[in-house]
Structure 1
């Protein structure tokens, strides 16, 4: 029996961007663009490996947190003149060195297309794997009439003349009478890896088009594109929020999750923090609903224990290894980690996020935490984020409900 074919998805994400500074880390729907691309590739069934090619350490950290391998791109391949093909070939070499075998199919996936779906990724891969194509790309069908300006003829009036590109302007057939044309979306491309090495560019041999939903086509090249993407995200992103039936326990970080991450120090050196009354209401509702609750913090300040007493919630604080403490707590109380919701905000929460079935980041969490999260609140830490989480589980009025019998739930794949 032959070995399964290796499909490597490469996401180029260099640090420099003139149109939108820091573009590849810009959040859309609460998740950095590079992490959105990693998630789409990891959820695609035909992809076996996902790599992010970058010269930026912050992008590398977010990519790794989202589950991608990181290929450190040299400066010579990261300037404005470097081509995507050069990054692809470098990533292919790095993949072969790391895994000891070449990739059969390589995908180029652009994180500047925020609404790429796993189906789009699988579509281009399948055309090369199964459809006999050498290359494939996502393309949006269009029936639009295209025009262009032509240069005026010599000795003619200087005004440019408009002429049809894909139509005769004297004949205007109805939409249903016209064969659709296809707009290259720039989101995903697939290539036979050996062919890419031989030709050095992404289009060779037979090229297949993979139609995609025109409503999801958006390339982020300037700040206006980014603003449109953020406005569209609530409409186009599939909801993946937990319900009471999915969760048996809620574990909360403290600083930055139940507070705004600031500390006030008085003249005697005592530290004060601000909490949100709405969060207290949410915790009380979760407790009445019968969920296991825990506050888990590395902070040794007595304010953590004082807040836990106020909320009537068990607390483990001053903990160096939060993931080890969480694992032990789950074992002690017989809680399946896959049915735990853990909410955090900073990089020391990443091990706990990787341990549970429902990793959650507050809206202003570190980019690597948002990348690792399955859900992101719309509310900042210390501003009602915990109450928002309680509303996911119990409904907006926070009324305790009897959980349904636990059944299978959709989970973002965590690896291949």
Structure 2
């Protein structure tokens, strides 16, 4: 791609300071690095990225982000750093604070095992197909035909009609779930849809071992184990 034709792409890493499930998780040390640094380094490793910006309300997170090489050109307002703040509001706020860009890539710091290659492949899917958005997914280990509710009497009630259930698990179609690692969208389109997901969105499939989304101490431990098992380069 010629330099003149290269799109202006922003990597946005949202990291608020008020995590309750795992306090301070965005800067907890994971295999020798603050958690957020894994996403910053993956963004810098992308061949497409123009800027890498962290959006946070927390001075400690912003300081760690700067030390890791990210830009922190603004402080996120407290009202956009609540438990129930929609992530889209955070993305649009950041876009409003910065010079115009063509594309935005949302990289949640809770997905430290996602690679620069994952980011590039998701962006390339959009550029090559003309799709306005791409999100990362992984194969779902749980299938709806084998899911149940528990009623008031304690009995299992199939989530889907049992008559629809395949005779053998091997006959069930492969299903995918959002893994939270990479969200790519054309900015003009995103401002109109206010969502990365639409009928036009394409998928980048990632393996389970790179799809850990850290929300609890157990998730953090799993990420540590997976990193420890990686061969040294």
Q: Tell me how far apart the structure 1 counterparts of residues 141 and 201 of structure 2 sit (CA, whole Å).
A: 21
Question: Distance between the aligned counterparts of 1:9 and 1:140, measured in 2?
Answer: 21
Matches within 5 A, 1:26-45: 26-45=28-47
1:184 corresponds to:
178
- Show the counterpart of 2:75: 72
Give the TM-score, by structure 2 length.
0.88
Structure 1 position 190, deviation (Å)? 0.6
Seen in structure 2, the aligned counterparts of structure 1 residues 178 and 26 have a Cα distance that, compared at 3 Å, is same
Q: Paired residue for 2:153?
A: 158
Aligned-pair CA distance for 1:151: 6.3
Cα pair distance change 1:84/1:143, threshold 3 Å = closer
What RMSD in Å do the two structures reach over aligned CA positions?
2.2
| Secondary structure at the counterpart of residue 90 of structure 2 | helix
Structure 2 distance, partners of 1:73, 1:20, is 21
Determine if contact 1:142/1:182 at 8 Å carries over to the other structure. Answer: yes
Say if 2:53 is the partner of 1:51: yes
In the alignment, the residues of structure 2 paired with residue 182 and residue 159 of structure 1 have an alpha-carbon distance, to the nearest angstrom, of 29
CA contact (8 A) 2:150 2:157 kept: no
Give how far 1:132 is off: 1.4
Flag the 1:208–1:165 CA change in 2: closer, same or farther, 3 A. farther
Measure the CA separation in 2 of the matches of 1:36 and 1:166.
Answer: 43
**Contact 2:17 2:57 (C-alpha < 8 Å) held by counterparts:** yes
* Unmatched runs of 5 consecutive residues or more in structure 2: none
Match of 2:7 among 5, 8, 11: 5
Q: Distance in 2 between matches of 1:33 and 1:83?
A: 22
Alignment check: 8 A CA contact 1:135 1:205 kept: no
Partner of 1:223: 217
Cα separation, partners in 2 of 1:197 and 1:158, compared to 1, 3 Å: same
Q: 1:3: Cα distance to partner?
A: 4.3
Distance across 2 between alignment mates of 1:127 and 1:197: 20
Change (3 A) 1:211 1:170: closer
SS in 1 for 2:123: helix
Deviations 1:42-84 (A, max 9, x none): 1011222111101111111111111111131111111112111
Q: What TM-score, normalized to structure 1?
A: 0.51
Structure 1 residue 224, shift from structure 2 partner: 1.6
Instruction: Give 1 or 2 for the bigger CA radius of gyration.
Output: 1
CA distance in 2, matches of 1:216, 1:39: 15
Residue 26 to residue 165, structure 1, CA distance change in 2 (3 Å)? farther
Does residue 207 of the first structure (1) align with residue 201 of the second (2)?
Answer: yes
In the TM superposition, residue 93 of structure 1 has moved relative to its aligned partner by 1.6
